[in-house]
Amino acid sequence: MTKVSFIFVAIALTFSANVLCQTEATYAVSSSAPGYNVQGKVVKTKAGLQIPLGLNTKSKKGIDSFGKTIDDLFVDVEYETEERLHVKISDKAKKQVLVPDSPLGFERPKISHYSSSKKANYDFQYTAKPFSFKVVRKADKVAVFDTAKLPLVFEDQYLEISTHVPKDANIYGFGEVTAPFRRTTNVTTLFNRDNADDMYRNIYGSHPFYTEIRDGKAHAALLMSSHGMDIITTEGRITYKVIGGVLDFYFFVPKSGKPNDVSIAYTDLIGKPMMPAHWMLGWQHCRYGYKDIDTVETVVRKYKEANIPLQTAWIDIDYMDQTKDFTVDNVNFPLDRLIDFGKNLHENKQHYVMMVDPAISANTTYDPYTRGVEMDVFIKNPDGSDFIGMVWPGYTVFPDWWHPNATEYWTKEIVDWVSLIGLDGLWIDMNEPASFCLGSCGTGKIDAGNQPYRWTLPEDVQAKNHADQEAALIKMGNPKGDNRNLLYPKYAINSGSGNLSEVTVAMTALHHGGIAHYDIHNIYGHAESYITRNAMIKQNSEVRPFVLSRSTFTGSGKYVGHWTGDNHSLWNYLKVSIATVFSMQLFGVSYSGADVCGFNSNTTEELCTRWQAVGSFYPFARNHNAIGNADQEPYLWETTAEASRRALSVRYALLPYIYTVFEESNTLGTGVWRSLFFEYPEFNTLAENDVQILIGTDILLTPVVDEGKLEVDGQFPKGIWYDWYNYDAIKVSKGVKTVTLDAPLVHIPVHIRGGAIVPTKTPKYTVGETFETDYNLVIALDAKNQATGRLYIDDGSSLEVKHASDITFDYKKGKLTASGKFKYDQAEKIGSITIIGEGAAKLSTVTIGKKKGIKLSKKKGAVVLENADISLTSAFTVNFK
């Protein structure tokens, strides 16, 4: 939530000439680099190989291009599993900074048994002079990563490595970035930044991971690095240009070649996505700029009056006293009213979330600050003083999550606050971390009170202040003993803010253990996510914690959910929101979504109506907009209200199915939202389709994302696809068929895959009320009149699940069987069964146990068993005739 982040960018670009444009030089490789040779004995290790490298030159030509060349390297090759290969190129002296081996960074797997090279799905091959390597998939001899005849550069502040890829390769990943799902020729910069979702620019998170689908088979690669980098995707090549650390690669080569199996292998390494509680799957609403608690209560009431389901009400920083964490504005948001508001929500089976930022006001009358000073938990300047930047309260300090006291400090603040207000979840924002000035602009100014933000000052004053701050930052110098150019590395990554220290903590600031912020900037929000999640668990260890974070890193999805930040109320942002959610699914952040109707600028009735329709199906679904913009609650326009009611009715009906898909994501690592190409990689015509959405494998959404359109073209892969609303069938005998669908303004086309059995509920106003209704089964027959499906049931809230059912349904030759694990023994039952498809028309009666000759109701395109009353505590069979 940054009302003015787009202004920051303009200011930063004005002040700094250190911005690298996407020129030919950016795309080029370091052609003069001497490279490395194998020098010494290659050693076979328990894990694989260790290969010593030495610089391939005795002259100075071509070295020290952007940093100090490191002469002696090791390549450690580890066959970690049959489908995962680890290749780390690092300095022999071990002076380069790695991602911390802890939950605050990347907890490296403890491997007791490595795969043998013979059993692996891949071969590792290398050349000695000059050194290069290939990772080859054994099944088809395809080189999935190939550095042959491409430069290897290893300097203290510049690493470069490239791989060949086919021309027009199908590359997905490399984020966080607002861009189409499939990567084209582009520079993707990974450096966490507070920015209002500029297209193609670096924003809040860093995920140096990609999947390639080649000839219907998928593989993937992860560069485990917390340093800033440019990743160049251009015709025939991917090039990494990194400003520190080591080249720590993991390659994923599943035997099947299926994209879903790549996701499983990837999350085996980084951690499985978090499992949401039932309530987290309901519709949510927030805005920045509600003037008082009366306004928030009115929004909740008007949702109810309009009969638009609302599960969770949010309050942004508006509730705070002078925007300080863990305080309240006692005039507009009195403490007793905030507490009573939460109680009323809970009485109505609804939920309550508030925002907390990491920046702490530097004021000696403010307890969170004085406690932090006493515990010495804040990020430091190189001289040992506290680094003091500027965020919403004015001058602020920033917790150093790696300090031994930081967890205790933050946990107390979170536990006390959540307990006091009665919150169900927390929203952690501005944690890239964001800072509105350059360097430690608050040094010596503790207790100075609220300061004017630089974007509110005249341009000449802004320029002078910025120049003074930059001079002070340079004068402060580096941490002792660090001779790198941390402020202005010679290779300037293509960061939209220009100088790396712009709009964030200075790169020369120090974390516990003497680690420069330069080296771990990209994992600051990730570390806060882990500590905040654990604090929520300490506050209530019985329930699944809700934490939503803006800044993420590799593995964040196992701790928190994510929204895609400060987007815009524009049609192209509606369209690209689907791609950004696809990317987060790829990164293992299944619980993710975009601000529905847009955050910045004013929406329109048509735009908000279309956005509500697709946004109602985001894994994390919330309407949210910015201060100063027109209201955009969906009840304000009748078309928007009706589209919301219709779409949310489908979502709430599908909650058992969606919850089951989330359980698969939590257990296996697959995405909740999936592109068609990732489910049908054999059809290359789907490669650029990032508008249609598969929820799991069986529910297909085809939203309208263009202004003025009342119909939409959808691609349908081979099979049968049934319209959710009227059961009309689209039959595709082979390949992919494009079909034009009617899509009036209040309607979003939804289809069920033939061959699926989808568990549903009867939609009610809240998620809890919906789950209290009986289960219903929708059996969508394929061409062979068969179908299968799955249902996962637990209590929907417990952190440690003790009783759960995992039921598989199978329909074949008129017989429906239910088998699996039946350990959730509460009184859940199936109320009805609907069978759709040509094979359903001939059915007339049903036998359930000893009950024979039960008549079926007829519907257009379907037959229905009503009042089935089938218990879900044990296996059963239903025979249709």
Report the distance separating Cα 216 and Cα 214, nearest Å: 5
Report the distance separating Cα 788 and Cα 325, nearest Å: 50
Q: Are 340 and 468 in contact (CB under 8 A)?
A: no
- Angle separating helix axes 605-615 and 638-653, nearest 10 degrees: 0
- Chain centroid offset of residue 575 CA: 17
Cα within 13 Å of Cα(212), Cβ side: 26
E-strand ranges in 113-227 read 122-127, 132-137, 142-146, 153-155, 158-164, 170-177, 182-183, 186-190, 202-214, 217-223
E-strand ranges in 289-367 read 312-315, 351-356, 360-361
- Respond yes or no on whether the N-terminal peptide bond of residue 130 is cis (omega within 30° of 0): yes
Q: Where are the alpha helices (DSSP H) in 596-746?
A: 605-615, 638-653, 655-668, 676-679
Token pair for 363: 């004021």
Q: Which of 261, 321, 366 is nearest to 668 (CA)?
A: 261
As to burial, measured by CB atoms within 10 angstroms (0-12 exposed, 13-18 middle, 19+ buried), residue 111 is: middle
CA angle 444, 445, 450 (to 5 degrees): 165
Three-state DSSP class for residue 613: helix
Question: Which one-letter DSSP state was computed for residue 744?
Answer: -
CA angle 412, 418, 423 (to 5 degrees): 165
Placement of tokens 């054994």 in the chain: 138
Report the distance separating Cα 235 and Cα 798, nearest Å: 49
CA angle 590, 619, 212 (to 5 degrees): 45
- Respond yes or no on whether the N-terminal peptide bond of residue 176 is cis (omega within 30° of 0): yes
Q: Compute how many other C-beta atoms are within 10 angstroms of the C-beta atom of residue 443.
A: 18
Token pair for 186: 């582009």
Report the distance separating Cα 786 and Cα 472, nearest Å: 72
Q: Are 472 and 220 in contact (CB under 8 A)?
A: no
Q: Which of 85, 75, 137 is nearest to 116 (CA)?
A: 85
- Respond yes or no on whether the N-terminal peptide bond of residue 334 is cis (omega within 30° of 0): no
Report the distance separating Cα 618 and Cα 283, nearest Å: 10
Three-state DSSP class for residue 300: helix
CA distances to 562, 740, 807, 847 from 871, rounded to whole Å, are 37, 41, 12, 15
Q: Are 89 and 147 in contact (CB under 8 A)?
A: no
Catalytic residue numbers read 429, 432, 566
Which pairing describes strands 787-793 and 845-848: parallel, antiparallel, or unpaired?
A: unpaired
Q: Are 734 and 713 in contact (CB under 8 A)?
A: no
